A = this chain, B = another copy of it.
């Protein structure tokens, strides 16, 4: 049994992680932590997330002694704010823990990226260098050997899982940027009170036009420029991405299908991508599940892809669990289906 702790356990992704870890046959949930200053310290996790009553009734401990916490843990899940992950990951890594970070703090190795998009200077360039990007279906070999896994963001997961087979197979026209429109449920903004998340103020809308930090994350890891427009939807969970792109000359739907199948149907271990071909991708089919559904249609030179995930699961917590499973040699979807 691997001792597992969750830092930042009070939020939506933390609660999902706690449920998964407690259900996992090879993991032992050793502790749930929040910032020492948090008003939630001392409460039960199930006081904040009533659905966990009788399932995970552990208290939220204040994270006051990182060394002691690190000493108790084989696996550390960071469901913390970007700055917090940045600040505390090294202590766990130095202590020898496996660290799975759900924040953006170790995702992109590019100059100025953190200053420009996250508002801080990155202080841990070596750890950043060693971090493996936890896009489970694509980086399994590297994840299996890594100590620090940077779990991808929610929009980037849906976008890359759909586009990466085409980019890798060089099926896209390099002259024209794919257009990614994605709609996310409100839980993507985290568990907090704000006017923008206030029930009566939530209304379908595009936001962060041309400026969202997930655009460079997608472009960097795809190695392909994209236009990315996120939207806030009037629902709690899930992301639907609709991607429009121009194909390279002569590419047909058969080539696309072959690329998809080559990427996702060659594996022996069950993973979390389901190929729907020309069937309709529906958001509710993935809400509450670890899966990413992908569909596509081609007409002439253009392709439209749709991809759906649960933003808190495949877009965060279940992908982190997939990475834990890959890292430790368990079947990928253990505790997830």
Contacts and interface: CB of A to CB of B under 8 A. Distances in A.
B238 A204 contact: yes
Interface stretch (A28-36, A47-55, A84-92): A47-55
A285 B289 CA distance: 17
A216 to B, nearest CB: 13
B51 A280 contact: no
A8 interface: no
A198 B200 contact: no
Interface stretch (A73-81, A113-121, A186-194, A318-326): A186-194
A209 interface: yes
B186 A199 contact: yes
Given A12-B200, A181-B242, A192-B198, A206 B280 contact: yes
Contacts of A202: 199
A197 B193 CA distance: 8
A281 interface: yes
Contacts of A242: 181, 206, 229, 231
Interface residues of A, number: 64
Contact of A227 (B50, B197, B276, B304): B304
Interface in A260-278: 270, 274, 276
A307 to B, nearest CB: 10
A233 interface: yes
Interface string A275-319: 010001111111111010100010100101010000000000000
Given A50-B293, A54-B270, A234-B234, A200 B186 contact: yes
A288 to B, nearest CB: 6
